[in-house]
Structure 1
Amino acid sequence: MNGKGWRDTGARLGQWALVVMATLLLAGCAGRVAVEDRHPDDPWEGFNRGVYAFNDTLDRALLRPAAVAYDRVAPEPVQLGVGNFFANLGELRTVLNSLLQAKPGNAGIATGRFVLNSTVGMLGLVDVASDMGIVADKEDFGQTLAVWGVGEGPYLMLPLFGPSTVRDTAGLPVDWVTYPTHQVDDREMEFFLTALNLVDTRAGLLDQEALIQGDRYSFIRDAYLQRRRFEVSDGELGDDPFAGEEFDFDDADFDFGDEAD
């Protein structure tokens, strides 16, 4: 990486640090407000629900419509290729964090996946490695912090980024700057790739909206924490809680007009 690249990386880390510090400060202030029947993992629920309402409004106004349009226009093979491309770039993050967690085996598998998919798989558009049964556990810096003994901390809803915990929030800056698209010198190309990744990811969640039932905020919080703990423990907590789709719901669960903040 050249000098300009390192300066840009340092600037991003500084910006992320300010965002994290400001968010945690606001959360700390909200946490001092008395809230009856607080969830043990969510002592800042008042603050978090406010951020959730902001994110939800932004999603309905901008992100979801873009995702719906993308889902309608882009053929399924194109969407699959785009998702594979960005997932393949994420293998580099898995390699780094696997090494930091002293998991050389997983690092080797992720490296093999990246090389195979980037070559035979045409720059990652085709997930050849998975078709061959070569699968690695995805790792990020939040998981690395957990391996290093850092506690999970309270649940935290981040503006724009959504569900998190204090520990995962602390890991976000490293995850951000180590993802390849953020090292592109061309800012327009970086913005395009970031936007495409975001819209493609949101489009992939459209079908899963049908799984949400009851209070959307609580459902998303509990689902995130359960899935995140499964990932941090490398599956030692049991089967993946989201491997199946046996959820009960009805039309009332999606009556957005009557949803309370």
Structure 2
Amino acid sequence: MKHPHRNPGWTRRLAVLLAAALLSACATIQAPPPEERIAADPWEPFNRNMYAFNRGVDRAVLQPLARGYNTITPEPVERGIANALDNLRSVPVMLNLLLQGRPAHAGRMFERFFVNSVFGLGGILDVASDAGIPDFDEDFGQTLAVWGWEDSRFLVLPFLGPSTLRDALSRPVDATADVPWREVIDGRLYILGVDIVQQRADLLDREEDLEAAFDEYLLVRDAWLQQRAYKISGESTTPDYDVLLEEDPWDDDLPPTADPDGD
């Protein structure tokens, strides 16, 4: 008897898409020799190939889903979904603020979470921003930076994209902090899928700039490192990523990088 949760046709289609993504990994600019790499990216050959793989998956799967999502979802509904998903992420943010020794900011984040959950229909409406309650964007990678692990090697993760060794190791902690809240919601896997598509849809307007770059990998790496350095530099509220992404990615004024022999 056929298993009710298996779909051989979908499995085959997924295999074809992943195969196309793997083939796209071959089309990447060759990494420079070790002596010419920046200290923060000693694993550049691996990272370039992983970036190419992720871009293949993105073009084959995520971009079509995101464009379809944008087409069928009215802008107010899309914004409401994004607000609700941001509200769900408030819980691990509060925990990280406490771990960073910032109880006052954790209290404001709880205030924001409470106001949006109760008066914003579960976070669909961002009532807290209208009321002037600040927003924070903290994760366990930033907490580790506050604790002393400030510099870390750049690392591109399969499917997850740009990261560092520090931030990659911190992901399970943030995921664990997020689970108890999501456990109370039926269809949490569906919510996770919508979250991924929503975040990709928000980045569709960057696609032309990305494809116009001579070296996509360098553009993404340098912009991401600058963003990440900004987030852990002591700013208390969510940084303006748009301003950072508009900066020249070829600028040599990069954030402090790790020692080549460090992590």
TM-score bracket for this pair, using the shorter chain length: 0.7 to 0.9
Counterpart Cα distance in 2 of 1:246 and 1:94: 27
SS at match of 1:66: helix
Counterpart Cα distance in 2 of 1:182 and 1:54: 32
Return the offset for 1:137.
2.2
Letter in 1 for 2:106: A
Tell whether 2:167 aligns with 1:177.
no
Counterpart Cα distance in 2 of 1:194 and 1:241: 23
**In 2, are the aligned partners of 1:211 and 1:245 still within 8 Å (CA)?**
no
**Partner of residue 165, structure 1:** 164
SS at match of 1:164: strand
Counterpart among 190, 193, 206 of residue 192 in structure 1:
190
Counterpart Cα distance in 1 of 2:109 and 2:208: 32
What is the correspondence of 1:20-35 to structure 2 with a 5 Å cutoff?
35=34
Sequence identity of aligned pairs in percent? 43
| TM-score, normalization by structure 2 | 0.75
- Which 5+ residue runs of structure 1 have no aligned equivalent? 1-32, 249-261
Alpha-carbon deviations, 1:163-182, whole Å to 9, x = none? 00111111100111212487
Closer, same or farther in 2 for the Cα pair 1:42/1:94, shift >3 Å? Answer: same
**In 2, are the aligned partners of 1:145 and 1:167 still within 8 Å (CA)?**
yes
- Which 5+ residue runs of structure 2 have no aligned equivalent? 1-31, 249-263
Alpha-carbon deviations, 1:70-120, whole Å to 9, x = none? 011100001100100010111111110000000011101100000000010
**Partner of residue 233, structure 1:** 233
What is the correspondence of 1:1-261 to structure 2 with a 5 Å cutoff?
35-180=34-179, 183-184=182-183, 189-212=187-210, 213-235=213-235, 240=240, 242-243=242-243
| TM-score, normalization by structure 1 | 0.76
SS at match of 1:152: coil
Return the offset for 1:154.
0.6
Closer, same or farther in 2 for the Cα pair 1:92/1:171, shift >3 Å? Answer: same
**In 2, are the aligned partners of 1:150 and 1:167 still within 8 Å (CA)?**
yes
RMSD: 2.4
**In 2, are the aligned partners of 1:181 and 1:193 still within 8 Å (CA)?**
no
**In 1, are the aligned partners of 2:223 and 2:244 still within 8 Å (CA)?**
no
SS at match of 1:119: helix
**In 2, are the aligned partners of 1:226 and 1:241 still within 8 Å (CA)?**
no
Letter in 1 for 2:231: E
